[in-house]
């Protein structure tokens, strides 16, 4: 039986991507992927995974046009990369991307055009996360 190494993640860019061109294009970036859930006591919880990612070739062109906070969906394989730094061996688990897709949410209508059912105190629901533009604070 063969092993399977496929990962799909959706999250936001933690900082501006780094693009390098040393004979072939490479892009380095981190994704923050959030998970919201309720614990046993039904208290809302949130955990965030920060994942290092790397892409090559044409995917770097799209990556270069985006910035911190943009929503991205990546698909690829996990790989442990090792290197020596001042005599110390280091390693990091990294997602090597086979696909990088940026997700642009549809804008919410400012004045919803649904019929008024008699409730004059209807208010728009703020975006999830509490930020005015729906983006995380980092």
pLDDT in tens, 33-71: 999 999 999 999 999 999 999 999 888 988 988 999 999
- Residue 5: pLDDT band with limits 50, 70, 90: very high
**Distance between CA 85 and CA 92 in Å, rounded?**
13
CATH architecture of 7-103: Beta Barrel (2.40)
As a whole number of angstroms, the distance between CA 13 and CA 29 comes to 7
Phi/psi-derived region of residue 64, left when phi > 0, alpha when psi is between -120 and 50, beta in every other case: alpha
Residue 118 has pLDDT above 60, yes or no: no
Among 3, 1, 27, residue whose Cα is nearest residue 15: 27
pLDDT of residue 125: 41
pLDDT, the chain, mean: 83
Would you kindly state where each structural domain of the chain is located, as residue ranges? Answer: 7-103
What is the enclosing helix (H) or strand (E) of 63? helix 59-64
pLDDT of 131: 44
By percentage, how much of the chain surpasses pLDDT 90?
59
């Amino acid at each position: 039986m063969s092993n399977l190494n496929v990962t799909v993640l959706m999250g936001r860019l933690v900082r501006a991507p780094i693009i390098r061109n040393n004979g072939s294009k490479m892009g380095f970036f981190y994704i923050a992927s959030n998970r919201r859930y309720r614990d046993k006591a039904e208290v809302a919880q949130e955990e965030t995974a920060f994942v290092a990612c790397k892409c090559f070739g044409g995917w770097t062109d799209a990556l270069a046009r985006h910035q911190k906070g943009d929503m991205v969906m990546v698909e690829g394989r996990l790989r442990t990369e090792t290197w020596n730094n001042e005599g110390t061996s280091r390693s990091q688990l990294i997602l090597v991307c086979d696909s990088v897709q940026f997700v642009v949410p549809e804008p919410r209508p400012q004045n919803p055009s649904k019929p008024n059912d008699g409730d004059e105190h209807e208010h728009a629901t703020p975006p999830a996360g509490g930020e005015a533009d729906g983006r995380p604070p980092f």
